[in-house]
Structure 1
Amino acid sequence: MRSKTFTSDIAKEHRQDHESLTLAQTLDVEAASKLLRIHPSTLLAKARAGEIPAAKPGKCWIFIENDLLNWLRGLYIYKWQNVGGYQNGDETTCSLKEKIAKTGITSLPSKEKFYTTLLEPATKKKPRK
């Protein structure tokens, strides 16, 4: 009796999954670009590159709304993700230009000084009399 209930539950889940697939909303390029709020040419470029879930069964691209929403959810940034920023007291910086390098050496020779010494003449100038 238990196996009968178990199999009927699986069949019910399978039917629900199948119904959700058949009732999926398909979108054209214009509607998909409005949903994602990106330019249609950007959407097409990403679809061609395989970055966005899409299909081209004929001459037109087709997008499934649920697939686009799942793709969009995958782009969310959560607190536990480190996306290049680091905590500096209360400030969060997102650029490596703002990050201060922590090294043991306090002064490094500048490139300007290095190139100046390379470009000096081999003989030193004699002082004027």
Structure 2
Amino acid sequence: METLNLEQAANFLKLHPEELRCRAKSGRVPAAKVGKRWVFIESDLADYVRSLYAPPRQALRVTSGKENILCHSKNAVTRGTSTLSHPPASALDALLALPTKPKRRNCTTS
């Protein structure tokens, strides 16, 4: 079991030493502060890096053709339809043609 100091661990993780110190202090990276120095165990850092890997994607399942496969697109609502109701053009024209009040004139005299 090999131990690393801050600079060696930062080099191992390809991080700036100050960034690694902040992550170790917050507990995001496994480390221990022995006296005034941070100590990292190399195998713990390797496990930490492995924990950051993306989860493996599930491969497509190949079927024998005997299974009843439900195709979701056939059960979906027809594309292009909308549940919004738009007012007819004449109602829209009526709304746009609402009368407006005339602007008030300035009543001050000079």
TM range (shorter): 0.5 to 0.7
Higher relative contact order (CA 8 A, sep 6+): 2
- Pick closer, same or farther for the CA change 1:106–1:32 going to 2, 3 Å: farther
**Distance in structure 2 (CA, Å) of the matches to 1:67 and 1:53:** 7
Alpha-carbon displacement from aligned partner over 1:60-116 (angstroms, at most 9, x marks no partner): 0000000000011010003338xxxxxxxxxxxxxxxxxxxxxx5569xxxxxxxxx
**Percent of aligned positions that are identical:** 42
Structure 1: gaps (5+ residues): 1-23, 82-103, 108-122
Corresponding letter in the other structure for 1:126: P
Indicate the structure with greater helix content: 1
SS in 1 for 2:33: coil
1:18-63 per-position Cα deviation (integer Å, ceiling 9, x unaligned) = xxxxxx1000010000000011111000000000000012010000
Name the aligned partner's letter for residue 39 of structure 2.
I
Closer, same or farther in 2 for the Cα pair 1:33/1:105, shift >3 Å? farther
Is the alpha carbon distance of 1:77 and 1:58 closer, same or farther for their aligned partners in structure 2, counting shifts above 3 Å?
A: same
Structure 2 unmatched runs, 5+:
59-81, 86-98, 104-110
2:47 pairs with 1:70: yes
Count matched residues. Answer: 67
